[in-house]
Amino acid sequence: MKPAMRFSLLIAATLLGGCTDIGTPTRPIPYESRLFIPFDNQGQPAVDSLRFHWPRSSMPVRYWVEDSLGAPALVRNAIATWKSAFLYNEWDAIVVSDSTSADVIVRVENIPPKPSPATIRLASLRPECEGATDVDTVATRQEFLVPVRVFLNPKFQSDSLGLCMKITATHEVGHTMGLLQHSGDVNDIMFTDPQATRLSARDIATVEALYHRDSDMHPVRP
Amino acid sequence: MRILNTSLILLGLTTTASAQQVRLGARIGATWSSTLMKDVIIAPITVKAGIAPTLALSASIPGGRKYRLGLEAVFSTASVKATENGIDTDLGSLRTASLLLGAEGPLMVRDFYFRIGVGLLKYLPSEKTGIFQQGGPTRIIGNFTAEYRKSLRPGWEWVVAARYGLSSFTTKELQSRGFTRSQAVHRAGLEVGVVKDF
């Protein structure tokens, strides 16, 4: 057989073998990520549900992190963890040194009282440490007040404090991305009392779905 | 990488043995690629590379009365975009490098030649993020090129080439996320250049 013929057959085999479409996966059903606000604009009891994700114009989202107990490294790790959940660069974030331009402020301290009754606090509670993210939608319901404030609080020294802080930082960064509910599954990083050391398939599916839906709120800076 | 090294060594040895018969070529042009992958999260998403500036280098030796055997290396670079509901997201740039072992010879029409080849195509993303967070894949590629050559001066020819290639695309990251099979990727290029006989 002539060399040209052999190569033609090889190419034909390549053509036949390659004529397919990629098969898309079946993703897990996302958990609820919308923010539920139990009162209306006048402060009367009423439930509103609001979805939030950072718009592309806000990327990369800027985090200022108090330089205490290795918190900047914890937040950088959390950012890398969440960034790896995305296939199409839907979300990105950086740690910045200027707190005045930050979209998210992360402090390492005892969790203070809520600044106002309108603030929604999402708290995580583990034995060794705790975290909280305060979300304020202002009165309009279409605005998401920035900077979002996050608190990381090491409660007592133990061998597992480092792991606790790492998990809690990842959990709280998840809230700041727009995961404004807790998961009911202990295997998810967004479980109320987070124990998972990595993102679950449901965490990934939930944040993917969130960033491919319309957001009800946009970030505003007072 | 082992195949590439072996091919280069073989070509080097063959080139030394028949130095008078070596034909070298260089072409520049542009390559269009079809969709790299498809996905559905809420709405359909397609990932596609833009038009890619391309450099093709070739070397061949006689392989028969009419035909020649040779190696061809093709390099290109393009931006990659994900499109969902008509909105594009920039996924960075993507370089490709392919090395093909092939044959070339005359077509029925005067001054027209073919070049066919099979080899490896390496995708080299600018950033290890998203679909490339576990790196770029290496895939098999098959190329067919039709060339029009005209003598410039003794030993030199200029060439206009239309190239078609077929490969497949998937990445380790996509496979780890449960994507199955791979996407057939069609590549079409138009190039101009020169060929020199030594």
CA distance A218 to A212: 15
Q: How many inter-chain contacts (A to B, CB under 8 Å) are there?
A: 110
pLDDT tens for residues A80-113? Answer: 999 999 999 999 999 999 999 999 999 999 999 9
Q: Which two tokens stand for residue A31?
A: 């958990």
The number of beta carbons lying within 10 Å of the beta carbon of residue B156 is: 11
H or E element in which residue B82 lies? strand B68-84
Residues 6+ apart with CB under 8 A from B114: B104, B105, B106, B107, B144, B145, B146, B147
H or E element in which residue A71 lies? helix A71-83
Q: Which two tokens stand for residue B41?
A: 């999260």
Low-confidence residues of chain A: pLDDT under 70:
1-19, 41, 138-140
> What is the model's pTM?
0.87
pLDDT at B1: 47
The burial of B109, by beta-carbon neighbours within 10 Å (0-12 exposed, 13-18 middle, 19 or more buried), is given as exposed
Question: Closest approach of chain B CAs to the CA of A187, in angstroms?
Answer: 18
Decide if B75 contacts B55 (C-beta within 8 A).
yes
Select from A10, A87, A212 the Cβ nearest to the Cβ of B142.
A10
Residue type for position B138? T
How many whole angstroms from its chain centre is CA A180? 9
pLDDT at A200: 97
CA distance B93 to B32: 14
Low-confidence residues of chain B: pLDDT under 50:
1-4, 6-10, 13, 15-17
- Determine the residue among B40, B41, B139, B166 to mutate to test chain A binding: the one whose Cβ has the most chain A Cβ atoms within 10 Å: B41
Q: What is the DSSP letter of A113?
A: P
Query: Which sequence spans correspond to the domains of chain B?
Result: 2-11+22-197
In chain B, which residue's Cα lies nearest the Cα of A87? B130
pLDDT at B123: 97
Is the Cβ pair B116, A209 closer than 8 Å?
A: no
Is the Cβ pair A86, B84 closer than 8 Å?
A: no
Residue type for position A4? A
Q: Judge: domain B2-11+22-197, CATH 1.10.1740.10.
A: no
pLDDT tens for residues B56-98? Answer: 999 999 988 889 999 999 999 999 999 999 999 999 999 999 9
pLDDT at A5: 62
What integer best gives the mean pLDDT of chain B? 90
Q: Among residues A149, A170, A168, which one has the least CA distance to residue A77?
A: A170
Among B residues 121-180, those touching chain A with beta carbons less than 8 Å apart: 129-131, 133, 140-144, 166-170, 173-174, 177-180
Residue type for position A149? R
Among A residues 43-82, those touching chain B with beta carbons less than 8 Å apart: 56
ipTM of the complex: 0.86
pLDDT at A12: 62
Question: Closest approach of chain A CAs to the CA of B157, in angstroms?
Answer: 22
CA distance A8 to A102: 60
pLDDT at A174: 97
- Phi/psi-derived region of residue A21, left when phi > 0, alpha when psi is between -120 and 50, beta in every other case: beta
pLDDT tens for residues A50-88? Answer: 899 999 999 999 999 999 999 999 999 999 999 999 999
